[in-house]
Amino acid sequence: MSFVEIAKQFALKPLPESEVEMTGDIPFEALAPYRAKALAHIAEHMELPGFRPGKVPQEMALKKAGELPVLEEALELFIKDFYPELITERKVEAVGRPDIRVTKLAPGNPVGLTVRATVYPEVVLPKEWKKLHETIALEPSMQATDEEVAKTLEDLRQSRNPDAKVGAPTEASGKSKPPELNDEFAKSIGAFENLEHLKTQIHKGIGEEKAHKARDARRGKLIEALLEKTTLAVPRLFVESEQDKIMSQMREDVKRFGMELEEYFKKTNKTEEGVRQEFRDQAMKRAKLQLVLNKIATEEKLDAEETAVATEMKHAFEHFPEANPELLKIHIETVLRNELALKLLEGNI
């Protein structure tokens, strides 16, 4: 019996969280070609007194190991070839590793299999999603105030106080004064012509920061509206992947404070599983957003420009020379494609 014929007999049942279950039997005779390979492999790796490594006769290996371990290895070899044919025949767009369980296995009898697989979910965007930006306006950002500029100048001035530097000489009073706010001070800060030039640039910088925050706030509202109106069953596998990323970032953050994550858990009376659950909602949202952005990029044929990808990869390798080039490229392409999708959502493309 061919793989296709066997696959057609498997029952397909949809499960929650974008998973499917396929159950069926494998005719015992279908394992015959794999049994010989399995027995040869077992004999090759078996150690028996009086025989050199790899020279144990197969009949002796079978007697030593027993029939069931041979069948188990034969089945493992069979599944590697059969699984791709199974999901192709049943039209399952599987992602990640399947959960394959043997429900019955006995010499001479059909083998029972239950296969659970995560499938790429169907993402149904709202019909008018391209017009969402018309319903959420960009809040006008306020210009920098004189008070904000003055505070920034004073912070700069205090940061230049010699007392802030270890070992700096002090005046007789025991304390030195911060520098005066004048043209010389402005020139000491950077490429500024005079104090007025410095004030102008500070005013401009604060204004740009406020405008950036306003754009971020609007983007956040657009994302919330899009996710709320999108129909999508987020696979558990995708949520767990996002949880892994969050935990990895948390480990790096804790390391910067000279502490291992396990030590942090002990000091805070927390567990890794508990923290993972705390971040589940955040991970769910991130996974859903990525699936939605993938859908937009696919439908709108959005692709990252090769020159932009090459530039970002060059910068990344300067900081992470040991990075895997293939994985790094996929990451950068995803980030750039996401940005294109978000700009389209904002009505900027």
This prediction's pTM: 0.78
Query: How many residues would you count in the chain?
Result: 349
Q: What is the DSSP letter of 124?
A: B
For position 60, which CATH number holds? 3.30.70.1050
Strands 11-15 and 111-119: unpaired
Calpha distance 215→207 (Å, rounded): 12
Report if residue 110 sits inside a domain: yes
**Phi, psi (deg, nearest 5) at residue 2:** -75, 165
Report if residue 92 sits inside a domain: yes
Reduced to 3 states, what is the DSSP secondary structure of residue 340?
helix
pLDDT tens for 308-323 read 999 999 999 998 899 9
> What per-residue confidence (pLDDT) applies to 48?
85
Say whether pLDDT at 164 is over 60.
Answer: no
Say whether pLDDT at 51 is over 90.
Answer: no
Report if residue 176 sits inside a domain: no
Give how many domains the chain has, as a whole number. 1
Report if residue 108 sits inside a domain: yes
198: which 2 tokens?
């410095």
174: which 2 tokens?
């025991």
Range of the domain at 21: 3-119
Say whether pLDDT at 172 is over 50.
Answer: no
Q: Which of 50-54, 56-60, 120-124 has the highest mean pLDDT?
A: 120-124
95: which 2 tokens?
């992602």
> What per-residue confidence (pLDDT) applies to 166?
45
Report if residue 222 sits inside a domain: no
Calpha distance 107→251 (Å, rounded): 49
Cα distances from 161 to residues 148, 174, 202, 274, in angstroms, run 20, 13, 20, 46
> What per-residue confidence (pLDDT) applies to 165?
52
Report if residue 246 sits inside a domain: no
Say whether pLDDT at 255 is over 60.
Answer: yes
Residue position matching structure tokens 């754009």: 215
160: which 2 tokens?
């230049």
Among 294, 293, 318, smallest CA distance to 222 is for 293
What band does 199 get if pLDDT is binned at 50, 70 and 90?
Answer: very high
Say whether pLDDT at 169 is over 60.
Answer: no
Calpha distance 34→70 (Å, rounded): 9
Q: By the 8 A CB rule, do 312 and 332 touch?
A: yes
The percentage of residues in the chain with a pLDDT greater than 70, rounded to a whole number, is: 96
Q: By the 8 A CB rule, do 70 and 37 touch?
A: no
Q: What is the mean pLDDT of residues 224-246?
A: 95
> What per-residue confidence (pLDDT) applies to 175?
63
Reduced to 3 states, what is the DSSP secondary structure of residue 191?
coil
Q: By the 8 A CB rule, do 118 and 39 touch?
A: no
Say whether pLDDT at 257 is over 70.
Answer: yes
Report if residue 22 sits inside a domain: yes
**Mean of the per-residue pLDDT values of the chain:** 91
Report if residue 293 sits inside a domain: no
Q: By the 8 A CB rule, do 119 and 95 touch?
A: yes
Calpha distance 108→29 (Å, rounded): 8
